[in-house]
Amino acid sequence: EADIYQTPRYLVIGTGKKITLECSQTMGHDKMYWYQQDPGMELHLIHYSYGVNSTEKGDLSSESTVSRIRTEHFPLTLESARPSHTSQYLCASSEYLGTGNEQYFGPGTRLTVT
């Protein structure tokens, strides 16, 4: 089983609150990713990181921000939550491209903004 953790698993919060979704991995992977999945839709990449102090935006535009100060930690922050941010957020990591870039996923955070 992959060693990648996400907290909280479920979060219900009011509009305007600041939220940080935590993601940690103990595999020493350089590459980490955040995916968003709206109900009935595909997983879409919103952020990724190639290593410490490296962050890039993904294919799907997001108002969230990320940071990568330590290899093992890749938190996602929403400064002011809105109902449109209601979704499931999955964090993943991978080792290197040579093996086809198999990604290891956390269990996800299901966010509801009221």
Partner 1 sequence: ILNVEQSPQSLHVQEGDSTNFTCSFPSSNFYALHWYRWETAKSPEALFVMTLNGDEKKKGRISATLNTKEGYSYLYIKGSQPEDSATYLCAFHTNSGYALNFGKGTSLLVTP
Closest approach of Cβ 36 to partner 1, in Å?
11
Q: Which of 9, 19, 11 is nearest to 63 (CA)?
A: 19
**Residue 102 makes contact with partner 1 by CB under 8 A:** yes
**Residue 3 makes contact with partner 1 by CB under 8 A:** no
Q: Which stretch binds partner 1 (CB under 8 A): 11-19, 20-28, 30-38, 68-76?
A: 30-38
The CA distances from residue 4 to 15, 20, 79, 90, 112, in Å, are 29, 17, 24, 10, 22
Q: How far apart are CA 114 and CA 46, in angstroms?
A: 22
Give CA angle at 39 (36, 68), nearest 5°.
Answer: 10
Per CB under 8 A, the list member of 17, 44, 55, 65 interacting with partner 1 is 44
Determine the residue type at 55. Answer: T
Closest approach of Cβ 66 to partner 1, in Å?
15
**Residue 107 makes contact with partner 1 by CB under 8 A:** yes
Site for partner 1, rule CB under 8 A:
2, 4, 31, 33, 35, 40-45, 48, 50, 58-60, 90, 94, 97, 99-108
